[in-house]
Structure formats: structure tokens, C-alpha cells
């Protein structure tokens, strides 16, 4: 019989569930959807033919078999990371600049951590800005890479992920959803979220008013949390203080946005090429 081999991505998900205590926490840390995390856990259980977990309210508790596998998983992942780090030491070094909108920074902490383990000699600089400005900086050669929302007027880059947009309100407070609908929107030209929201409402014959504008979710969140406006976000941008509205809200459905990875027109440096591949692997549907 041919030896069986564990999928290390599935084991990494298992360990992250254990470290965070919930599927939701693991999804946030890995920048996956909750359904993807649940599916990966189910794939492990199916492959092994044993139950690895059981529910205790919102939290997840591992069975004795799950605890045994968790110990193996930690050792296998540690050995994998050690091997990668050892083989890459001294082979990749230099400066590297990445641009990313502030709202997407939560997608990449595990990528940054893993990249630093693999290439400790690389000096990474992360620059936040609007998608439009970051694309311009990449094209001008001022940044090596940028992960942005693909813009209608600024195509290009490699689309690596599609994110459905949702209407969201404060977790405990929300405004009236009658016309004119109060909205917290990105400043004009900051991103396509505003454009898509306006088009959806116009097509549905809804009236709206601007309650607040900002170039990032950090600026929009307080007024939404206070229950004074509705905001448009991706599900990965939902925080513990926000909740998504469903179809019963009466608001029109929203399309999905595309996340695109851009690189400078010059030949990529070794650090840029490695980070590009790590981000693509981590965020693509196949990687998730």
C-alpha cells in the first residue's frame, strides 16, 4: 500500500482552530471564510475516518483523537517551517515594499509572519493608501507590489480573489432603513465600494443620503457602530462591532469586488517574487 501523506494546509488550519478556540477566530486569522475552515476540518475527519471535534456552545472542543492529531500537527508544521527557513537563509535579502489599503491589512498577518520566518534578511516595508493611489505608485516603480481592489478605471494586475460585498450596521444599534437611507461611504475616488453601492440603490429605485465619508473603514466605523449609518464592506472587513444585513432588510443585493495583485513593471526582485507567490497562494480560492 502506498504511504498516505497529510496535507499541511489542513493541519495548519487545525492548529489555528486550537489556538483561537473557534472556527470564526481561525477564519479571521487565516483570512479564510468560516465555511472554508469547517470544510478543511471535515476533510481531515473524512480522510482519517474519525471525529476530531465536538461543539460546546460557540466554542469547539477536540476529541481525544483530535488532541492526538493536534500534537502531531504542531510537530510536523514546526519541522516544515524549520526546513523552509533553513533552506532559504542567506539566499533572499534586500528591501521590499508592499502597498495595501488599510482595510485589507487584516488579510495578511499570517503571510507577513511566515515570510519573515522564511526570509529574515529581507527588510519589508508596508505602505497603506487607497487602491487608486497604490496602483499609481506601483506603475511608477515606487512600490514593488500592491494588493488592491480592482478599479473600473484602473484595470490590470492579477485577480486572485473575489469578495462579496454586504450592507452592514452596528452590532447593537442601527439606523432606520427607510428612504433616504443614511450611508457611511468611502470618499470619492477612494475605492469602488461607493460606486457599487450607489448603482445598486439607483437600480432599486432607493433614495439615500451621505451621513459620513472617509478614506478607510477606521474612519467610517464609529458612526456605523453608533447606529447612525449603513456601510458597505466585504465579509472579511466585519468586526465584532458590526453585523451584516440579510435579504430581509429590503436593501438591494450587492456585487462582488475583485482583489488584484499588482507588481512594478521592472523585473521583480527575489523578495518581491517570493512575497507575490505567498500572497497569491494564501488568498486564492485554491489556497483557501
- Cα 237 from Cα 259, distance rounded (Å): 13
Question: 8-88 — its CATH code?
Answer: 1.10.10.10
Q: Percent of the chain at pLDDT above 90?
A: 56
Say if residues 81 and 44 touch (Cβ distance below 8 Å): no
pLDDT at residue 288 in the model: 47
Residue with the bigger pLDDT between 136 and 288: it is: 136
Residue 26: predicted pLDDT = 86
Give mean pLDDT, residues 240-267. 92
Q: Which of 49-63, 197-211, 231-245, 267-281 has the lowest mean pLDDT?
A: 49-63
Please measure the distance between the N-terminal and C-terminal CA atoms of the chain and give it in whole angstroms: 30
Alpha carbon 202 to chain centroid, angstroms: 29
Dump pLDDT digits (tens) for 61-101: 899 999 999 999 999 998 888 787 777 666 788 999 999 99
Residue 197 CB contacts under 8 Å (≥ 6 apart), including other chains: 165, 183, 185, 232, 254
Compare 83 and 59 and report the one with higher pLDDT. Answer: 83
Dump pLDDT digits (tens) for 196-234: 999 999 999 999 999 999 988 888 999 999 999 999 999
d(CA 259, CA 89) in angstroms, rounded, equals: 31
pLDDT mean across residues, the chain: 89
Name the residue with higher pLDDT: 246 or 58.
246
Please state the pTM of the whole predicted model.
0.70
Beta bridge pairs of residue 18: none
Q: How far is Cα 160 from Cα 276, in angstroms, rounded to an integer?
A: 11
Angstrom distance (rounded) from CA 262 to CA 99:
9
What's domain 94-161+258-283's architecture? Answer: 3-Layer(aba) Sandwich (3.40)
Mean pLDDT for 43-58 is 86
pLDDT of 36 strictly over 80: yes
Q: Which tops the pLDDT comparison, 91 or 116?
A: 116
For the residues 229-243, what does the mean pLDDT come to?
91
Q: Is residue 285 very low, low, confident or very high in pLDDT (cuts 50, 70, 90)?
A: low
Residues 40 and 246: their CA atoms lie apart, in Å, by: 26
Q: Tell me: the pLDDT tens digits for 139-198?
A: 999 999 999 998 776 667 899 988 899 999 999 999 999 999 999 998 887 778 999 999
What are the extents of the domains in the chain?
Answer: 8-88, 94-161+258-283, 162-256
Residue 82 pLDDT: 79
**The listed CATH number (3.90.1640.10, 3.40.50.720, 3.40.190.10, 3.30.450.40) that belongs to domain 162-256:** 3.40.190.10
The yes-or-no answer to whether 8-88 and 94-161+258-283 have a common fold is no
Q: Bigger pLDDT: 30 or 122?
A: 122
Write down the pLDDT at residue 286. 52
- Region 18-36: mean pLDDT is 84
Q: Centre a 10 Å sphere on the Cβ of residue 48 and count the other Cβ atoms it contains.
A: 14
- CA 185, 187, 193, 195 dihedral sign is positive
Amino acid at each position: 500500500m502506498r504511504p498516505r501523506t497529510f496535507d499541511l494546509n489542513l493541519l495548519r488550519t487545525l492548529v489555528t482552530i486550537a489556538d483561537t478556540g473557534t472556527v470564526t477566530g481561525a477564519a479571521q486569522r487565516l483570512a479564510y471564510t468560516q465555511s472554508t475552515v469547517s470544510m478543511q476540518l471535515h476533510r481531515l475527519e473524512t480522510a482519517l475516518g474519525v471525529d476530531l471535534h465536538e461543539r460546546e456552545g460557540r466554542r469547539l472542543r477536540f476529541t481525544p483523537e483530535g488532541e492526538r492529531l493536534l500534537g502531531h500537527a504542531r510537530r510536523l508544521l514546526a519541522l516544515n517551517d524549520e526546513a523552509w527557513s533553513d533552506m532559504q537563509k542567506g539566499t533572499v535579502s534586500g528591501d521590499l515594499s508592499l502597498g495595501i489599503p488599510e482595510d485589507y491589512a487584516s488579510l495578511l498577518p499570517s503571510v507577513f509572519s511566515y515570510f519573515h520566518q522564511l526570509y529574515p534578511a529581507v527588510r519589508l516595508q508596508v505602505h497603506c493608501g487607497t487602491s487608486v493611489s497604490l496602483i499609481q505608485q506601483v506603475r511608477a516603480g515606487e512600490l514593488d507590489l500592491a494588493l488592491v481592489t480592482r478599479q473600473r478605471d484602473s484595470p490590470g494586475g492579477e485577480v486572485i480573489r473575489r469578495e462579496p460585498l454586504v450592507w452592514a450596521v452596528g452590532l447593537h444599534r442601527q439606523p432606520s432603513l427607510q428612504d433616504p437611507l443614511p450611508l457611511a461611504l468611502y470618499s470619492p475616488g477612494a475605492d469602488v465600494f461607493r460606486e457599487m453601492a450607489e448603482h445598486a440603490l439607483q437600480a432599486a429605485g432607493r433614495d439615500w443620503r451621505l451621513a459620513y465619508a472617509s478614506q478607510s473603514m477606521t474612519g467610517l466605523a464609529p458612526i456605523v457602530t453608533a447606529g447612525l449609518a449603513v456601510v458597505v464592506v466585504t465579509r472579511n472587513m466585519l468586526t465584532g462591532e458590526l453585523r451584516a444585513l440579510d435579504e430581509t432588510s429590503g436593501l438591494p443585493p450587492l456585487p462582488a469586488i475583485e482583489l488584484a495583485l499588482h507588481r512594478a513593471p521592472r523585473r521583480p526582485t527575489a523578495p518581491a517574487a517570493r512575497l507575490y507567490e505567498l500572497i497569491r497562494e494564501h488568498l486564492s480560492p485554491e489556497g483557501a
